[in-house]
Amino acid sequence: MGSLKLYVDDQVENSFRRAAMKKFGYGRGALSRAAEEALARWSEGSEISDELLDTVQDPVSTIEGLLKHVKGVSSVDLQKQASKIRAKRTIAKSASSASR
């Protein structure tokens, strides 16, 4: 078993302690179990291959280029449209699976 000494903001520490004890109880090891789960989740979620990461040098310019054809409508309208698309797709998919 490895050990880590971490320095975190008081607010984060308090909320972590509360959540860990609520889930794993007030006994020994509750904080370690919660920390292991959190650290594993974070590191697994952050693992992106170097090969992929190397494809992007300047992330801001890359995103700018990727969105070059997304013009004409205001960004807020695009965002609101996305929510309608989500809803339409869910309804269409559920209708099509119900008719099968």
Partner 1 sequence: MPHQLLVDSNFFLELKQFRSEDCKNFFNLVSSGALEVLTTDFQLDTIALVMEQKKSPPSDIRSFFVSISKFKGLSVYSMSIADKIDATEEMESSTLDFDDATSLAVMKKLKITKIVSFDHDFDGVECIQRIEPDQVVFSFAQDENEKS
Residues lying near partner 1 in the complex (CB under 8 A) are found at 9, 11-12, 45-46, 48, 52-53, 55-56, 58-60, 62-64, 66-71, 74-76, 78-83, 85-86
Find the shortest distance in angstroms from Cβ 1 to partner 1: 27
Nearer to partner 1, 60 or 98 (CB): 60
Residue 89, judged by CB atoms within 10 A of its CB (0-12, 13-18, 19+), counts as exposed
Of the two residues 3 and 55, which places its CB atom closer to partner 1 in the complex?
55
Q: Which is nearer to partner 1, 3 or 74 (CB)?
A: 74
* Residue 81 Cα distances to 12, 68, 75, 87, 89, angstroms: 35, 18, 10, 10, 12
Name which of 31, 58, 74, 49 is nearest 23 in CA terms. 31
Location of structure tokens 């300047």: 58
Instruction: Output the smallest distance, CB 99 to partner 1, in A.
Output: 24
